[in-house]
Amino acid sequence: MFKKFNFTGLLFIQWTWMELRLWVQRVVKWNLRKITGLCELQRIAYGETPGAARSSNIERSLMMSRSSEIQKLISYLDRAANEGRFSATKSSNDLIISKAVKAVMQIKLIKPSVHQQFVISLEKCIQKIWSYRQLLNDLESLRTTSYNSENSEHEEKLIKLWKSLRPNEELSDRISRQWQEIGFQGDDPKTDFRGMGILGLENLLYFAIDYPEAARHVLSRSNHPRLGYSFAIVGINLTSMAINLFRDGSAKYHIYNTCQFGSHIETFHKFYCYLFLEFDKFWLSEKPRDVMEFGKIRDRFEKKIRVELSDLKVQFKLNVAVETI
């Protein structure tokens, strides 16, 4: 006879182990503070290299702090991010960041005159951490903004996309089979933007305008008679992949390593362009039998990207050199 498994006992053991780990961590932190004279934030700022190593550990330390004052500070910074008060340049955020750093210095009893380098490092980390959070809000706002054919700005962007990808071919009409030439499913592209909203269009447009030669070359490769795929539809699918990588934090290391003064919408667009160029190469290297293999190949591509993003030193760099097939 099998003995009845005691789940209550197992849960108690797990809870006890977690409590023990927390207690050990607190003891270690207390001893390190006594030995070095530095708080955990200082040890991270002085001991970790700039970029993801420093910023991600500063973020972890702040989030796990038991100090009610630190938690109030986090709420203040979260409100600033939710209200869109972080911008692309550090200079415009001086008031928010200086207030936050001053609060940390007072809470942790750190003298700014003695630890000037810590002040500089903490400023940069706060900018990176909370501009990333603001970017998530901005992306969600664009994603939930539906394409509206009665909105002149939306229509202008769509026509601009056509002109950028097909500069030598006139669009016969707003609703036309020609849209299928650049990878839309039907005669009216607006229906394809339902999942990603206006963000899907803005990603495609950024790629087409900022990297026109590369975008047109990828479009030509997507029209390959045997290895082709739907350019626009794949682009919108990659918008979905990119925003998921940002939402779940997978893209953080890359952003913290590459953005000197924090992230903004252009940061996301460039990340998207990188994904598009890499997916195009990956798709062709997989030599699919037909487009029905898209889901399987997309999943393999995403897995590859996630592995690369898990590297603390990761930095995706755009390489727009064109290739032939």
**Domain finish residue from 83, 106, 134:** 134
Does 14 reside within a domain? no
* pLDDT given for residue 32 in this prediction: 42
Q: Which one-letter DSSP state was computed for residue 49?
A: P
Q: How far, in Å, CA of 221 to CA of 323, rounded? A: 9
Q: Which one-letter DSSP state was computed for residue 188?
A: -
- pLDDT grade for 95, boundaries at 50, 70 and 90: confident
H helices of the chain, where? 7-36, 40-47, 52-64, 68-82, 94-107, 116-143, 152-165, 197-210, 212-222, 231-247, 252-258, 265-286, 294-309
Structure tokens at 317: 């760099």
Dihedrals φ, ψ of 54, to 5°? Answer: -75, -50
* pLDDT given for residue 2 in this prediction: 47
Residues 250, 109, single domain; the answer is no
Q: Is the dihedral of CA 61, 64, 68, 74 positive or negative?
A: positive
Q: Which one-letter DSSP state was computed for residue 87?
A: -
Residues 182, 305, single domain; the answer is yes
Q: How far, in Å, CA of 26 to CA of 137, rounded? A: 34
Does 315 reside within a domain? no
Domain that holds residue 98: 38-134
Q: What is the DSSP annotation of 18-40?
A: HHHHHHHHHHHHHHHHHHHS--H
Instruction: Report pLDDT digits (tens) over 195-211.
Output: 999 999 999 999 999 99
What's the mean pLDDT when you consider all of the chain? 89
Does 220 reside within a domain? yes
Does 171 reside within a domain? yes
Does 23 reside within a domain? no
Question: Residue 285 pLDDT more than 70?
Answer: yes
* pLDDT given for residue 325 in this prediction: 43
Are 320 and 280 spatial neighbours (Cβ–Cβ below 8 Å)?
A: no
Residues 248, 296, single domain; the answer is yes
**Domain finish residue from 134, 160, 176:** 134
Dihedrals φ, ψ of 130, to 5°? Answer: -90, -20
* pLDDT given for residue 23 in this prediction: 43
Residues 220, 78, single domain; the answer is no
Identify residue 321 by its one-letter amino acid code.
Answer: A
Number of folded domains in the chain?
2
Are 232 and 276 spatial neighbours (Cβ–Cβ below 8 Å)?
A: no
* pLDDT given for residue 91 in this prediction: 60
* pLDDT given for residue 305 in this prediction: 98
Residues 165, 126, single domain; the answer is no
Angle, CA 178 vertex, CA 146 and CA 158 arms, to 5°: 30
Residues 129, 205, single domain; the answer is no
Q: How far, in Å, CA of 258 to CA of 218, rounded? A: 25
Residues 242, 209, single domain; the answer is yes
Does 29 reside within a domain? no
Residues 279, 178, single domain; the answer is yes
Residues 157, 288, single domain; the answer is yes
Residues 119, 192, single domain; the answer is no
What's the alpha-carbon Rg for the chain, to the nearest Å? 24
Question: Residue 319 pLDDT more than 90?
Answer: no
Cα–Cα distance list, 60 to 30, 151, 242 (Å): 17, 43, 23
* pLDDT given for residue 6 in this prediction: 57
Angle, CA 232 vertex, CA 230 and CA 235 arms, to 5°: 105
Residues 82, 160, single domain; the answer is no
Does 15 reside within a domain? no
Does 269 reside within a domain? yes
* pLDDT given for residue 321 in this prediction: 63
Rounded to two decimals, the pTM is 0.87
**Domain finish residue from 76, 99, 134:** 134
Residues 238, 264, single domain; the answer is yes
Question: Residue 98 pLDDT more than 50?
Answer: yes
